[in-house]
Amino acid sequence: MNFEAETFRYDLSDLAADLCALYGGAGYGKYRMRKFEEYSLYLENKNFLASEHVIAFNGLDGKLLALKPDVTLSIVKNTTASEEAGEKLYYSESVYRLDRKSREYREIGQIGLEMLGGVDAVGTCEVCALALESLSLISERSVLAISHMGFLDAVFRSLGIADSASESLLACLGAGSAHELLRVADGLGLEAETASRLAALIAFDSDDAAKLEAARALAVTDEAAAAERELETILSELSRSGYSGRLHLDFSIVSDRGYYNGIVFAGYIDGVPKAVLSGGRYDRLTEKFGKNLSALGFAVYLNELSYYLRTTEEYDADYLLLYGEGDTPSAVWGEAERLRTVGSVRVSKTVPEGLRFREIRHVGEVD
C-alpha cells in the first residue's frame, strides 16, 4: 500500500488547530483538564480503555493517581449535562497509553468531541458529519465506516445467544471473517439461513445494499428493527448532505457492548493502514456513572497520522548566512533580517554538518 500512498502535506499542529476550529465553529466548547485523575476511575472502567495499563503514582496526600489514558471518562465523570440541557464539548489533550505492540507507554495526541445529553437523529447526524469533515481536513480520500452495537446486541438476544457465545460471534465480525463466523454459528446451533445472513453483514462481496438487506432480515424484534432503521436514516441523511460514497455500512467495526449501545464508527484515510478516528454512542458508560444521559463522541488519533503526514521539510532552513571575522553583529543581523522577508535564515560562522539549505549566502552578498 505504501508504494502508492498519498503523502499528506500537513503539519500536525496545523491539523490540530483546524480540527479545533471545526469543532468550535460547530458550537462545541473547549474542555480542559489536568494531566492526571484518580487511579480508581480507570480501574473501575478498565474495559472502556484501549489497555488496562496506566501510569500510576502516589499523590502527596497518599491518593493513587494516574496519568490520563483517556479523556472521555473524565468528561463523563465531571459533566453536569442533562437530557434537557446537554453539553457539546471538544478537547485537544495528550493521553498516556501502553502500546500493544512495543509494550511501551506512549504519549498520544488526541483531539475529539463529545455530545452529552439530547442525542437525537439530528445530533447523531451532526456528530457523524463532523467526523467526516474531520477526515476531509486530512484527505478527501477518506471514509467513515459505521456499525451499530445496539443492533448486533438486539439480534444476538433475539437469537437466544448467551453473552459469552455472542462474544465469539463479535470477534468474527471484528475480524471481518465470514467463514469463521459460519463455523462459530454452526457450533452454536444457529439455522443455516440465519448464519448466512450474519455472515452477509461482513462478507467481502457484500455491498451496503446487501448488508442492509441482511440486517433487515435479521431485525425480527422492535429493538433490532429500530437500530437498523437508525442506520438507514444516518446513511440516507448524510448521503443527502453530500457525503455519499464516503460513509459505509461496516459491521466489522465493533466496540465493547458494556459501554457502547448504539452506532459505532471508525474513520480511514487512504494510505494510512489503521483507523485514524473512532467513536460511537456510549449511553452505557454514563449509566455506570449514575447519569441517565445519552452520549455520542469520537476522537482523532494524531499519532496514527504522524507517520504519514509529510512534516519533514526538504531543507533545514531556506538560507544559511555565513559571516566572517570582520563582520559586525549589527551587519550580520541586518542582512539576516532582510533575508527573513523571503525565507527562514540560519546564521553561522561555518557550514553546519548534516544540515541542508536551499541556498548559502555570505554577509555582504545579500541584495
Partner 1 sequence: MLSVALPKGRLGDKVYRLLESVGYSCPEMLGDTRKLVFENEEVGIRYFLVKPSDVPIYVEYGAADIGVAGRDILLEYSPDVHELLDLGIGVCRMAVAAKEDFRDDLTRPLRVATKFPEIAKRHYAARSREIEIIKLYGSIELAPLLDLSDVIVDIVETGTTLRENHLRVFDEILPISARLIANPASCRFKGEEIGALAGKLRELTEKK
Cα distance between the two ends of the chain = 47
Using CB under 8 A, which of 64, 122, 162, 175 touches partner 1?
175
Which residue lies nearer to partner 1 by CB, 252 or 311?
252
Q: How far is the CB of 142 from partner 1 (least distance, A)?
A: 9
C-alpha cell at 254: 465493533
The reply on whether position 275 binds partner 1 by CB under 8 A is yes
Q: How would DSSP label each residue in 126-189?
A: HHHHHHHHHHHHH-SSEEEEEEEHHHHHHHHHHTT--HHHHHHHHHHHHTT-HHHHHHHHHHTT
Distance CA 261, CA 312 (A): 42
**Which segment (3-11, 23-31, 114-122, 326-334) binds partner 1 by CB under 8 A?**
3-11
**Which amino acid does the sequence have at 366?**
V
Binding to partner 1 by CB under 8 A, coded x per residue (else -) over 210-239, reads ------------------------------
**Which segment (31-39, 105-113, 151-159, 272-280) binds partner 1 by CB under 8 A?**
272-280
192: left (phi over 0), alpha (psi -120 to 50) or beta: alpha
Using CB under 8 A, which of 61, 84, 104, 204 touches partner 1?
204
**Do residues 28 and 89 make contact, with C-beta atoms less than 8 angstroms apart?**
yes
Q: How far is the CB of 92 from partner 1 (least distance, A)?
A: 24
**Which amino acid does the sequence have at 297?**
G
C-alpha cell at 35: 494531566
**Which segment (1-9, 71-79, 126-134, 193-201) binds partner 1 by CB under 8 A?**
1-9
The reply on whether position 176 binds partner 1 by CB under 8 A is yes
Contacts of 207 (CB under 8 A, 6+ apart): none
Q: Segment 237-266, which members bind partner 1 (CB under 8 A)?
A: 248, 250, 252
Distance CA 301, CA 92 (A): 10
Which residue lies nearer to partner 1 by CB, 144 or 219?
144
Q: How far is the CB of 45 from partner 1 (least distance, A)?
A: 23
Binding to partner 1 by CB under 8 A, coded x per residue (else -) over 102-141, reads ---------------------------------------x
Distance CA 11, CA 242 (A): 27
The reply on whether position 269 binds partner 1 by CB under 8 A is yes
Distance CA 324, CA 46 (A): 62
Binding to partner 1 by CB under 8 A, coded x per residue (else -) over 24-63, reads ----------------------------------------
272: exposed, middle or buried (Cβ count in 10 Å: 0-12, 13-18, 19+): buried
Binding to partner 1 by CB under 8 A, coded x per residue (else -) over 142-161, reads -x-x----------------
C-alpha cell at 341: 522577508
C-alpha cell at 281: 454512542
Using CB under 8 A, which of 23, 151, 260, 268 touches partner 1?
268
Which residue lies nearer to partner 1 by CB, 178 or 336?
178
Which residue lies nearer to partner 1 by CB, 141 or 362?
141
Quick check: helix, strand or coil at residue 125?
helix
DSSP state at residue 77: H
Distance of CA 165 to the CA centre of its chain: 29
Which residue lies nearer to partner 1 by CB, 118 or 271?
271
Question: Under the rule (CB under 8 A), what is the footprint of partner 1?
Answer: 1-5, 141, 143, 145, 175-180, 204-205, 248, 250, 252, 268-275
